[in-house]
Amino acid sequence: MNLPRLGQIALAALFTVVSIACSTRSTPSADLKSVTKIYVADTVASNSLETNALNNAVHDAAVRELQRLGYAIATNSNDANATLRSSWRIRKGEGVRNDSESLSLSLSLFSKSGQRLFDADSGPAVLANFWNEPRTNTEVSAILARLPHAELGAGSHK
């Protein structure tokens, strides 16, 4: 492996560790106790090819992590207690690299009435070329791991 490639891999690993350590902390709402079934909405589309290519990874990782936490996944918003929405925050390049984009991922959980129950992001924006499907999966899992496990026997709001 050549030295520049090894440097890129080391830098990507460093960015991952820093972003997880510095990511936004969220205090889950007490209303989350009644949430047992979540609809995962499609990630908001953007004008960035990089983010649009990762939108399916965001959705799939969110479904897997929510199921791991004990939540049921609804196929439509009418059958759910809450909806998980995701979007990318895109910062255009500045200075020498003004053609580059930096990205961070935001996930928010809303009740049926529209109340924000949970909100967190992947931390400081990182250059788009450091985002890929494995990193996206890791970031989504790290964000949603801050949610409490679904309570067994919690009342469902149908």
Residue 150 lies in a domain: no
Residue 158 lies in a domain: no
Name 83's Cβ contacts closer than 8 Å, sequence gap at least 6: 38, 39, 40, 41, 77, 109, 110, 112
Residue 132 lies in a domain: yes
Name 38's Cβ contacts closer than 8 Å, sequence gap at least 6: 66, 71, 72, 73, 74, 80, 81, 82, 83, 84, 109
> Tens of pLDDT along 66-114?
999 999 999 999 999 999 999 999 988 765 556 788 999 999 999 999 9
Residue 154 lies in a domain: no
Q: What pLDDT is recorded for position 18?
A: 43
How many beta carbons lie within 10 A of that of residue 66, not counting itself?
21
d(CA 66, CA 37): 9
CATH code of residue 103? 3.30.160.670
Residue 153 lies in a domain: no
Residue 156 lies in a domain: no
Q: How confident is the model at residue 20 (pLDDT cuts 50, 70, 90)?
A: very low
d(CA 40, CA 155): 20
Residue 152 lies in a domain: no
Name 114's Cβ contacts closer than 8 Å, sequence gap at least 6: none
Q: What pLDDT is recorded for position 46?
A: 85
> Tens of pLDDT along 22-65?
444 444 556 788 899 999 999 998 888 889 999 999 999 999 99
Number of compact structural domains in the chain? 1
- Full domain range(s) for residue 33: 3-144
pLDDT of 147 over the 50 cut: yes
pLDDT of 152 over the 90 cut: no
pTM equals 0.76
